[in-house]
């Protein structure tokens, strides 16, 4: 094998450093995001009535589940923004994507606000809370829903900034928003005695602040280029609707599998449901790191597609695969060595600890099987191949997750985790197969 020259070695490390430099801020941002909910919980947890905490928690769950499904805005915005960055007239192309995705986000946010009563009633019907909890749930939701336009706009703007490779800026905006939310929580609850409504109002104000900051940064990066009517014509609307529609269906299929795991686990009893809640934290932990790598790959692959550089698309894909593999191995080793300690930190109930420890071999395998789907999700976001993401997700759900659970259900709760592992692996392998097929047909840049 020919030895690399010092110049080649330097370029190799600089090249990999660029990917990690994009990934690390997003990993940190992923870690800070749950803090918003943690502060809300801590404030309400010190109130006199536990119904306040229960009501706000259910209300927040309803809102966040809707926002999670609407995460397609972030993904489509990232892919389009990254591709615009790779084009010759990058500023104009990026401005076009900015205003297109921002408009879609605001309209969706306004629609959610307009439909707040049906959404609230559906949430109450599904959660079936006690009367005192329902009162606090309603109070929280009625305030928090006013932040829907800002929350949707945040998804689009964060996606746009990631596509422009401004992940440090995204981190800074997230930190400002979380700190503001924490400070306003204290002021509104303890200073103004606004209780549950105060916690919701703090979140709303934080959401609008983050949206304004992100928009200011985005306009500065695009040199203040104003939107043009042609950017919103019928052809442009059709492309955006198709892209976002496919992403939405993909998210719904994923959410359906995760919801089934939660609901079916509850049917196996209280212990199984609590055990599953603990085990899901292992999934959350690997998502923190693997999502960061995926974000970086989204930006770099999208930029390469915008430049119509198929060779660079493949190089960035396989480079990302190497890093996600390394992260996966590190996670597996960590869970092998410290898995019991992690479980012990999550619960003090000895029967739950013993139940969860029995699943540790699956948790060790989890990152090794799942990292493929995280990485290739990022690749296909960058390529804006939403139809492939939709099709492989539906195939993995209907062709792997549910059949695998069905044939193993006699084993009890563990059948759900066999199904989830198979589902995650099927998603990664099917996307890898589609990628190889596109490469063979020389259609990566289409």
pLDDT-flagged residues of the chain (< 50): 1
Which pLDDT does position 444 carry in this prediction?
92
Q: Where are the domains of the chain?
A: 23-232, 287-440
Which pLDDT does position 4 carry in this prediction?
57
**Residues 6+ away with beta carbon under 8 Å from 251:** 68, 69, 70, 71, 72
The token pair that represents 16 in the structure block: 């990999």
Instruction: Say if CB 162 and CB 292 are below 8 A apart.
Output: no
**DSSP code of 3?**
P
Instruction: Say if CB 343 and CB 357 are below 8 A apart.
Output: yes
Instruction: Say if CB 69 and CB 251 are below 8 A apart.
Output: yes
pTM of the model: 0.91
Q: Distance (Å, rounded) from C-alpha 154 to C-alpha 158? A: 6
Which pLDDT does position 369 carry in this prediction?
95
Q: What percentage of the chain reaches a pLDDT higher than 70?
A: 94
Instruction: Say if CB 191 and CB 324 are below 8 A apart.
Output: no
């Amino acid at each position: 094998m020919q030895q690399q020259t010092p110049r080649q070695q330097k370029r190799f490390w600089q090249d990999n450093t660029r990917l990690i430099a994009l990934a690390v801020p997003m990993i940190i941002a992923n870690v800070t995001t749950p803090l918003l909910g943690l502060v809300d919980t801590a404030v309400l947890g010190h109130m006199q009535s536990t119904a306040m905490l229960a009501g706000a928690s259910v209300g927040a769950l309803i809102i966040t589940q809707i926002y999670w499904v609407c995460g397609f805005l972030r993904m489509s915005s990232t892919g389009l923004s990254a591709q615009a960055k790779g084009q010759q007239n990058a500023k104009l192309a990026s401005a076009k994507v900015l205003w297109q995705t921002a408009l879609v986000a605001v309209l969706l946010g306004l629609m959610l606000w307009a439909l707040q009563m049906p959404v609230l009633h559906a949430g109450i019907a599904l959660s079936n809370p006690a009367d005192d909890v329902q009162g606090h749930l309603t109070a929280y939701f009625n305030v928090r829903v006013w932040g829907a336009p800002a929350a949707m706009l945040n998804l689009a703007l964060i996606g746009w900034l990631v596509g422009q490779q401004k992940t440090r800026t995204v981190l800074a905006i997230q930190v400002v928003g979380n700190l503001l939310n924490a400070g306003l929580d204290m002021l509104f609850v303890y200073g103004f005695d606004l209780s549950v409504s105060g916690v919701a109002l703090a979140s709303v104000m934080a959401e609008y602040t983050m949206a304004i900051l992100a928009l200011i940064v985005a306009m500065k990066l695009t040199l203040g280029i104003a939107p043009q009517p042609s950017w919103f014509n019928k052809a442009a609307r059709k492309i955006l609707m198709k892209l976002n529609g496919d992403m939405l269906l993909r998210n719904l299929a994923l959410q359906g599998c995760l919801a089934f795991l939660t609901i079916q686990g509850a049917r196996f009893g209280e212990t199984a449901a609590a055990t599953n809640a603990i085990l899901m934290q292992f999934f959350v932990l690997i998502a923190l790191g693997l999502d960061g790598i995926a974000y970086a790959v989204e930006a770099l692959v999208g930029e390469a597609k915008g430049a119509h550089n198929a060779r660079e698309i493949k190089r960035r894909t396989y480079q990302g695969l190497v890093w996600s593999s390394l992260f996966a191995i590190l996670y597996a080793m960590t869970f092998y060595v410290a898995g019991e300690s992690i479980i012990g930190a999550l619960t003090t109930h000895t029967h739950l600890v013993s139940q969860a420890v029995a699943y540790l071999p699956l948790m060790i395998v989890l990152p090794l099987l799942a990292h493929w789907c995280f990485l290739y999700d990022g690749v296909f976001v960058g390529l804006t191949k939403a139809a492939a993401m939709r099709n492989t997700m539906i195939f993995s759900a209907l062709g792997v997750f549910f059949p695998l659970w069905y044939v193993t259900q006699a084993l009890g709760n563990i059948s759900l985790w066999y199904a989830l592992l198979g589902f995650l692996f099927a998603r990664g392998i099917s996307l890898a197969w589609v990628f190889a097929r596109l490469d063979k047909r020389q259609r990566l840049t289409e």
